[in-house]
Structure 1
Amino acid sequence: MIIYTPPAVAKDIPVIDLRDSFSHDIEKRKSVAWEIHKAARQTGFFYIKNHGIPVEVQQAQFDVAKEYFDSPLEEKMLINSKKSACLRGYEPIAAQTLDEGSPPDLKEGFLLGRELNESHPHVIRKTPYHGPNQWPENNPRFRQQTEDYMRHMELLGRKIVRLLALSLQLPEDFFDEGLKEPMIISRMLHYPCQPETARENQLGAGAHTDWGLITLLLQDEVGGLEVRNADGEWLKAPFIENTFVVNLGDMVPVLTNGLYHSTMHRVLNTSKEKARYSLPTFFDLDYYYEASVVPTLREEGKSYPAPITVGGHIAAMFDKTFGVEKASA
């Protein structure tokens, strides 16, 4: 358990302008990648602006999330994620415990992924967390808007992964083999106002690192995200209009031999009047992609840890935090 102490004001979470990442000039793309390199070595967290995701798409996704979470509990429970073989659907309040040893998290959510039918190779292979989504009945807008949002998130995720490759002085397409069938999990999260009766150290989301490659977070103006820096200080990561927060997951230190950081973070809704909503998208390489130290960070004659599969690690963390039996990889 990581005991909660109040955070300081953020002072070293940079805002990176992605405008030049859309340029045909490779040197301009490399200049953006260098900013990511610096942020990845310092905090593992950064904001991005000029990312290409229309404001109206962002707002529409918040609208459908709020509408869904406002629906009666009995309706939401009809598509409880526990009814899904690939963990898709509604997550009730306190379904997950991110900080081991702390009480369950004070949030409810909705989990979605790439819509894969029974003929997809990963579904045939029974790959964990791959398959069809559960969708609310009688709400076609929810599905239409969410699938549109996820298409935008896939494009943005692919761009960040290519910039990540450039930041490590690798070819831009170095990770493309793992992008043929990426794992993309999007969540809608609702954090009610923190109740006075909350148990000791019970937060909206307990202190944790993310498990995969990168997370693309759209948060609302209520805020509540807190990040721990290299000195162990907790910093607020406030809402900045028309930006996404990007953070690196546990696969990145594996790929970089610890050069880049996967940073501890947590959420506490301190508002007495407003619920907090956030839209994280977890963008990862193929479930079966073997992660190991990249060539540019290897020294001749030195031994390195054996490769690990992306999905094996993520499956273990899902099982741990949701309290379910371990899935087979």
Structure 2
Amino acid sequence: MAPQISLIDFSGFYSQDPAAKQKIVDQVRQSCSYNGFFQVINHGVTADQSRTAMNLAKKFFDLPQESKDKVRKENNTWNRGYEMMRSQILEAGTNPELKEGFYIGDEIPESHPYFVHKKLNSGPNQWPQDMQDMSPQEFSQTAMEYYHAVLKLASDLLKVLALSLDLDEDYFVQFMDGAVATMRLLHYPTQPKDADDKLTRGIGAHTDFGAITILLQDEVDGLQVWDANSGGWIDVRAGCRSNRGAFVVTLGNLMQRWTNEKYKSNIHRVINKSGRERYSIPFFVSGNPDYVVDCILTCKAAEEETKFPPITVERAVMAGYAESYGRAQMYKQGLAEAGQEALSAKSVPVVTSSA
């Protein structure tokens, strides 16, 4: 039987039955030790909240390009707003990625210490002004309702992760106090079925930068997770009856570092060969930007070496951003230089008269 991504009924976490809660802890521990991916259903985020958020994403990306460009994230330095197609390369050696996005975070006013001190992804959001059937205020209210519901789920997932590591349930509370989390509305256009051979990705093979990611998919497939044991890719099916309403939970590089690689930050990618447009909403939990991530003592034996030095959340996550966006910039610069060389090679010298 082909390997699968675990589907966990999270309702037991909210029950008064210790055995039901322990079952979830055991399932999460097994998944995190194996490949750092699992799915959760009955997680507390309502179907209506998820459906409304996905519809919001589709409405935004249906806007004319000039309307989306008004809220480009280049308007600020704190990573909020619209990101145009082919802005990022997460997998070295591939083409810029076939996706466009819209970045949303907690509403941080310019008077907030995070903004004043230029902390990770911290500042006011940009909201689209040209939605035909809703005001910017309605758009923001809808988006932020979903944002805070998923942030609450993130805190609950971290409680289970703490228990799975033989820690107190509240171990990650300080990490989540003042946590930075970024939500991205994503749109993947259709791409040719042979695009894999041409190194074209929706998102290239990568690991996530933060602690955990909570992903909402629409009904269109495309997400693939690397399975080291079989040496192949697992398709994470979307919109199946068994996992309808499910979130895909991914461990990021911070969690792998924190656990001394006891838990995995696994490689995944998106290739949309469905012939349809795909939409998704990943929710990246980075944590308090000043929090220092150091090896959890339950994750190594007394005589075992710590594999990573301590690092702040901000420094670790910013390094990941710099690498992926730097690749795209270098790619585009290379194309521009190649184009200029081609023009120079074709140009005919102009001889001017001295008369």
Match of 1:206 among 193, 196, 204: 204
Amino acid across the alignment from 1:179 = M
Match of 2:160 among 145, 154, 163: 163
Q: 1:121 matched to which residue of 2? A: 113
Distance in 1, Cα, partners of 2:127 & 2:192: 30
Q: 2:338 matched to which residue of 1? A: none
Pick closer, same or farther for the CA change 1:119–1:196 going to 2, 3 Å: same
Q: 1:237 matched to which residue of 2? A: 236
How far the C-alpha of 1:28 sits from its partner, in A, is 3.7
How far the C-alpha of 1:300 sits from its partner, in A, is 2.4
Say if 2:137 is the partner of 1:140: yes
Distance in 1, Cα, partners of 2:301 & 2:2: 36
Q: Could you say what secondary structure the match of 1:300 adopts?
A: coil
Q: Could you say what secondary structure the match of 2:70 adopts?
A: helix
Q: Is the 8 A contact 1:42 1:230 kept in 2?
A: no
Distance in 2, Cα, partners of 1:34 & 1:251: 21
Q: Is the 8 A contact 2:251 2:265 kept in 1?
A: yes
Aligned length in residues: 316
Distance in 1, Cα, partners of 2:45 & 2:23: 21
How far the C-alpha of 1:298 sits from its partner, in A, is 3.1
Distance in 2, Cα, partners of 1:284 & 1:22: 24
Deviates more, 1:188-197 or 1:92-101: 188-197
Distance in 2, Cα, partners of 1:110 & 1:197: 28
Which runs of 5 or more residues in structure 1 are unaligned? 1-8
How far the C-alpha of 1:30 sits from its partner, in A, is 3.1
Distance in 2, Cα, partners of 1:322 & 1:135: 23
Say if 2:321 is the partner of 1:318: yes
Q: 1:3 matched to which residue of 2? A: none
Pick closer, same or farther for the CA change 1:281–1:229 going to 2, 3 Å: same
Q: 1:220 matched to which residue of 2? A: 218
Match of 2:172 among 149, 161, 175: 175
Amino acid across the alignment from 1:229 = D
Distance in 1, Cα, partners of 2:35 & 2:173: 26
Q: 2:352 matched to which residue of 1? A: none
Query: After superposition, what is the alpha-carbon deviation per residue over 1:54-73, rounded to whole angstroms, capped at 9, x for unaligned?
Result: 11111111111111100000
Distance in 1, Cα, partners of 2:73 & 2:264: 31
RMSD: 1.8
Q: Is the 8 A contact 2:120 2:180 kept in 1?
A: no
Distance in 2, Cα, partners of 1:196 & 1:241: 26
Match of 2:146 among 140, 145, 149: 149
Distance in 2, Cα, partners of 1:187 & 1:54: 19
Say if 2:249 is the partner of 1:250: no
Q: 2:292 matched to which residue of 1? A: 290
Distance in 2, Cα, partners of 1:106 & 1:164: 33
Q: 1:299 matched to which residue of 2? A: 301
Distance in 2, Cα, partners of 1:96 & 1:10: 31
Amino acid across the alignment from 2:162 = A
How far the C-alpha of 1:233 sits from its partner, in A, is 1.0
Larger radius of gyration: 2
Say if 2:55 is the partner of 1:63: yes
Normalised by the length of structure 2, the TM-score is 0.85
How far the C-alpha of 1:122 sits from its partner, in A, is 1.4
Distance in 2, Cα, partners of 1:116 & 1:105: 29
Distance in 2, Cα, partners of 1:297 & 1:92: 40
Amino acid across the alignment from 1:263 = N
Q: Could you say what secondary structure the match of 2:103 adopts?
A: strand
Match of 1:309 among 309, 312, 320: 312
How far the C-alpha of 1:81 sits from its partner, in A, is 0.8
Q: Could you say what secondary structure the match of 2:67 adopts?
A: helix
Query: After superposition, what is the alpha-carbon deviation per residue over 1:149-191, rounded to whole angstroms, capped at 9, x for unaligned?
Result: 0010110000011111011000001111111111110000000
Q: Could you say what secondary structure the match of 1:79 adopts?
A: coil
Distance in 2, Cα, partners of 1:298 & 1:246: 24
Query: After superposition, what is the alpha-carbon deviation per residue over 1:29-71, rounded to whole angstroms, capped at 9, x for unaligned?
Result: 3331111000001121111011011111111111111111000
Q: 1:4 matched to which residue of 2? A: none
Distance in 1, Cα, partners of 2:172 & 2:288: 10
Say if 2:184 is the partner of 1:184: no
Pick closer, same or farther for the CA change 1:196–1:33 going to 2, 3 Å: closer
Q: Is the 8 A contact 2:192 2:273 kept in 1?
A: no
**Percentage of pairs with the same residue:** 36
Q: Is the 8 A contact 1:10 1:236 kept in 2?
A: no
Q: Is the 8 A contact 1:84 1:134 kept in 2?
A: no
Q: 1:131 matched to which residue of 2? A: 123
Distance in 1, Cα, partners of 2:57 & 2:200: 24
